[in-house]
Amino acid sequence: MRRLAILVLLLGLLAGCGDDAASAADTPPVCDSADAVRVTVEHIRNTNVSENGLSQLRPLFTQLRDDIAQLVTDAQAQFGAQADALRTAAENFGAALQGAEADPGAASFTAVRATAGALRGTAQDLAAALTGTC
């Protein structure tokens, strides 16, 4: 549950990337993919884990992984360094989550927290870079 909250906070940083004043035709793909990440994070936030169980989150995490992959692809040309850092941090976080599922314990959850911090930092870096674009 705690790792879910960390993930939601991390990726919620991208929420400020959308610009309602821009028309869809003028919006770069990177802005659309950042918005898709934001929407998926909102769905995760709104999932009632205590009522529906963790199994309800699995498809949302899959969608989030796909949304981040698209964001990285769309950001690559203009924001290559930040996109590469986000991809690496997301892969590390995913590996840490899998490790925690396979072997729940203090060491596993410490790894999840550490990789979540790195993911948060790279998400903040990309969100800051996108500020002038989206």
List pLDDT tens digits, range 44-97: 888 887 787 667 878 888 898 999 999 999 999 999 999 999 999 989 988 988
15 pLDDT above the threshold of 60: no
Q: Is the pLDDT of residue 99 over 80?
A: yes
- Please state the rounded mean pLDDT for residues 11-26: 56
Rounded to the nearest integer, the mean pLDDT of the chain is: 82
DSSP 16-56: GG--TTS-GGGS-HHHHHHHHHHHHHHHHHH--HHHH-GGG
> Mean pLDDT over residues 19-44, rounded?
81
Question: Tell me, what amino acid is at 33?
Answer: S
Please tell me whether the overall predicted TM-score, pTM, comes out greater than 0.75 for this model: no
Residues 6+ apart with CB under 8 A from 120: 6, 9, 10, 13
Q: In the structure encoding, which two tokens stand for residue 11, read together? A: 């990726």
> Residue 22: what pLDDT?
47
